[in-house]
Every structure is written in C-alpha cells, then in structure tokens.
Chains A and B, each alone.
Chain A
Amino acid sequence: MALFIFLGPSYGPLSIPVRILAVLAVILILIINFADFLVFPLFTKLLGISMVPAKGYMIPKTQDSVIKNVSGLFYATGYLTANIYNYVFTAEEMVQGEEQDMAGGPDKWEKAVMSIDFPFKFNVMTVAHDIQKFREDLEGKRSFLEFQYSKEMGSGNPSPSFIDELQRKMRVIEMRMDRLGQGERPVDSVMYMETTAVGVSQKEATDKLTEQLSHLQTVFNVFDLSITRVVGRELYLLHKYNYIVPEIKDLNANFTVQS
C-alpha cells in the first residue's frame, strides 16, 4: 500500500509530504517487525508510559526490568538472551571437537557459577520434535532432491552451480539423518538468563540489576553464547513465561527459536 501511495496518483501540492509519509511508514513497519526493541522503549520513554504486567509488578518506562515492591524493598528483575549460536542441527558437517566442548560444559558451568555472588536463573525452554515424523520429512526432502538431481543430470545442458547446490542440500540432509541415527533428537529451544537485584529505592535496584546483568554477560561469555539484554515487548513475555510454559507456536511467533 505504501508503495502504491508512493508511486501512485498525484496529490497535487501535497504530493511530497504524502510520499515522505509513505517512506516513513515503510521504515516504521520494517523497524516494528525486525527491531522493535529500539522503537518500543523509545515510545514508552518519550510518553512516560509504564506497564503493570500483573498485580504488584511494574515495568518502568525504560522497558528494561520488572519491578516488585515488597514492604519497602524494591526487587528489579532483568533478562538476557543466551542462545548457543554455534550449535546447529542444520549444519552440513559436525563441528570438530564437539565432544570435548560437551565434556568441558560441567567445568565451565561450575567456574562461572562460583564467580557469581547474586541470585540468577538460567532457563531453557524446549520441545522435542517427533523423531519418526522428522525422519520421514527428511526422507521426503531427500527423494525430491534426488529426483531434481537426476532430472538436471539428464538434461542436455546441466547447470554446475545448480548441481552443486543440490549436492550441498543432500549432504545437509544426510548429516541430519546421521545425527538422528546417533541418538540426537531435534529440538526447538529458547534460552535466557534472569537475575534479580534488591534495593531500598527503585533506582538502586535497577542500577544493581544493570551491574549484575553485565557481570553475567562477562562470566557466561566462555559458553560461546549470544548474550543481549532483553528490553521492550519480550520483557513482558519472559515475565509471563515464569508462570506459564508457552506453546511452541507462541514461542515461534515471538522469539528466535533455535532448531
């Protein structure tokens, strides 16, 4: 629609402002869908809007923490994403030294935890796929790729780049089937960390929270995680997921789910 308004009919002397608005609308739609963590807190900060996610709790206008006041003590809770980006079930080849990495996990965890002197929580939300169905899907995809491959090879002038592409896709599927055979199960997961700080004022609690989150970021870097502070819309959802484990479709709709 914005494109139609931009390229479409003339609006007389109002053409330039309308076209500028059309461009701004496109930019806003893109930001809302791909970087809403920038827009939403800005919007609440400018308008001074705070939120009440449940009785007794408050999300301040900065949209970076959930505050609870208990008999004059302020508890500020904040969240960090903690996705393991080097783990990919969709990888073409197994990462070298994956077993050593796994064996090092318990040690790294204990060392990390020993250096943390405040409360925190490491959360993994997960759902496993049905292996049988997953395998059947993979076999279906492999058969289709093999058909495309033989068709391309049988044609008079096969395209080398297309052949390479098909071979790569087939290797990925083979790899995934091998991993299934080794007992690995495909899962969808969302990982995040949570910490709570306490203070006699809201500012003290949120300042301490920021310190704690930075400390967690530093300490958990050894795990090769993608760690970012959660601000905006997702903060409310993570607070809600303290009490409810969401359905996978809700997770997929709101977070980057790892497969």
Chain B
Amino acid sequence: MARDIQLITLVLLLGIVFVLGFFISVMPPQYYILSALFAVIALALDVIAFSNKFYFYLAEPLRKMKGRTITLHAEEPFYMYPSGSAIAIREESEITASAFIKIPVYRSATEMTEEEKLNFARLFARVVTMSKYPMKIAAEQYVINKDDFIDKISKKLAEAQERYTAISSNKDSPRNEIDRIEGELTMWHNLFANVTKSRSQGQMAYAMVSATGASEEEAVNLAIQKAEEAAAGISATLGVTASLARGDEILAFLEPEYVIPPTTVAEMMKKEGESAQV
C-alpha cells in the first residue's frame, strides 16, 4: 500500500514538473518573472520527487511534526503475544509478527581440529543459505543479569546491618553473638563487593523470521510456522537443538535494558565512581 502511494506521489510530482516545464517553454519572454517562478517550483518538486524513494516515510510525520521532534511511530515498538512465543508489530493497517529461534552452540574453536573448523564454517554457511524467505541470524554478547542476585544480597546485607545495630546498641548482648553477626555482615559486604566487581558476559546466537497477516493471530501463526521450519533446518545442519525462544528470552534479543541489566550496571558504575574518587 505504502509502496503504491509512493509511486503515485512520484508520478504526480513529475507530472506537475512537466506541466510547469511546458508552461515555461511557451511563456512569452516578457513574463520572465513568472517563468523563473515556475522554474524554481519545478526544481523544488524535482528534488522532492527524487528524494521520495528514500524519504517517503518522513512525509506524514513531517506534516504532523510538533516542535523539533518528528514522531515516526508513537506506539511501543512491539507487543509480546500473550503466549510469549512471538512479538507483534502494528504499522498502520499492517500486522507483522516475528518469532525467534535459539541456536545453542557450545563448541569452541580451540577444541577443534583444522578439518573440524572448516566443516563448522561450511555448516554455518549452509545455515545462512538455508532459508528461502528472509531470515536474520545474529550472535549476541550480553551482560549477564545479576539484578536478582544483587537485590537478594543487598536485602540480606541490610537485614544483617539492622541486626548488628540492634544488638550492638544493647549493652547486655553476649559478645559471641555480636561477633557472629559482625562476621555475617562482613560476609555479605564481601559478597556484594565481589558480585559487582566485574562484568560477567554471556553469548548466544539466534535466528529471527517474520510474517505478515491480516490479523495478529494469522501473522503470529505464520511466523511460528516459519520459525519451526527454520529451527528444524538449523538443528539438522548444525547438530544442535534449536528451539523457539519465549517471553524474557525474546526480550533479551531486543531490549537494551535486558542486554545490559540496569541494577547490575548501576552497581558497577557506582563501584567505578568510588574507585575513581580513591
């Protein structure tokens, strides 16, 4: 649809340009100001017509532009389908769904012989050339999410701190009990310091396919069907168990805050700041 409108716009603009050109050519010389005006309009339309190929998508948002911000898409970039097996993207009247396939490859090049390395490269090339429909294959390196772990440790640390304050403020508290809680506090402190000291990274590979449908259900079902076909092909070629990603696994491929978890990074940044001050 958008492509048709784009083509019609191009033809319309070029049509106006040629009409203006015709008027310029038949205009008597004494109307030179009008000729020049037509020429300038024709040139401007010419430029617009030839930039239409790349910038057509900006036409409507430019018209609705507020201040100095062009809003290309006001909605969320995607919606997770209720089953968690695919995402749906709504663009004007079109609904597209995308499904993701996890490709678990645990072998390292260091443990392969030269022949195995060549075979692996060949198999990978076969995976890339496997699909008759467009497919995206990606290898991702991400920061391992320690948010829950950090939360748990900081809660335990706070609890231990509270108990230590309470017990140490009481003069009758037994000395061995104070020592025990002090030791526990130190343990949580050390654990917290260690867990945020370095950034742990993981790697994963995945493939992605998309399908368009008249309804969300149709698009999702088509995308899942394509993904299952691709997963079977990848599994057979690489000898791994490729499976469909779901829910949070999909978000890890798409959302930056899943690639770099906020709490993990915030703690690390705090640590970096502290060491810079020292």
Chain A: residues with CB nearer than 8 A to chain B? 1-2, 4-5, 8-14, 17-18, 21-22, 25, 28-29, 32-33, 36, 47-57, 68, 70-71, 73, 75, 77, 99, 102-107, 109-110, 113, 116-128, 130, 184-187, 189, 196, 198, 200, 233, 236, 241-248, 251, 253-254
Contact = CB atoms under 8 A, between A and B. Distances in A.
B24 interface: yes
14 contacts: A9-B25, A13-B32, A14-B36, A22-B39, A52-B70, A68-B256, A106-B112, A123-B138, A126-B134, A185-B129, A196-B259, A243-B98, A245-B136, A254-B54
B69 to A, nearest CB: 5
A2 B14 CA distance: 12
Interface of A is mostly: mixed
Contacts of B32: 10-14
Given A28-B47, A68-B256, A70-B256, A50 B69 contact: yes
B240 interface: no
Nearest to B198: A117
B82 interface: no
Interface string B53-83: 1110000000000001111111111100000
Nearest to A251: B134
A1 B43 contact: yes
Contact of A121 (B24, B132, B141): B141
A233 B138 contact: no
Contacts, number: 229
Contacts of B77: 53-57, 242-243
Interface in B174-215: 199, 201, 203, 208-210
Given A55-B77, A57-B77, A70-B262, A241 B136 contact: yes
B170 interface: no
Interface of B: 17-18, 21, 24-25, 27, 29, 32-33, 35-36, 39-40, 42-44, 46-47, 50-51, 53-55, 68-78, 87, 89, 96, 98, 108-110, 112, 114, 117-118, 120-122, 124-125, 128-143, 199, 201, 203, 208-210, 254, 256-257, 259-260, 262, 265-266, 269
Contact of B29 (A10, A99, A127): A10
B98 to A, nearest CB: 6
A68 B269 CA distance: 18
Given A120-B140, A236-B72, 15 more contacts: A2-B46, A10-B29, A10-B32, A12-B29, A49-B70, A54-B72, A55-B76, A77-B256, A113-B141, A119-B142, A121-B139, A124-B138, A127-B133, A130-B132, A246-B134
Contact of B68 (A48, A57, A186, A245): A48
Given A70-B257, A110-B108, A130-B132, A51 B72 contact: yes
List 8 tightest A-B contacts by C-beta distance, closest first: A12-B32, A54-B77, A106-B109, A75-B256, A185-B129, A103-B118, A14-B36, A102-B121
B47 A32 contact: yes
A245 B131 CA distance: 13
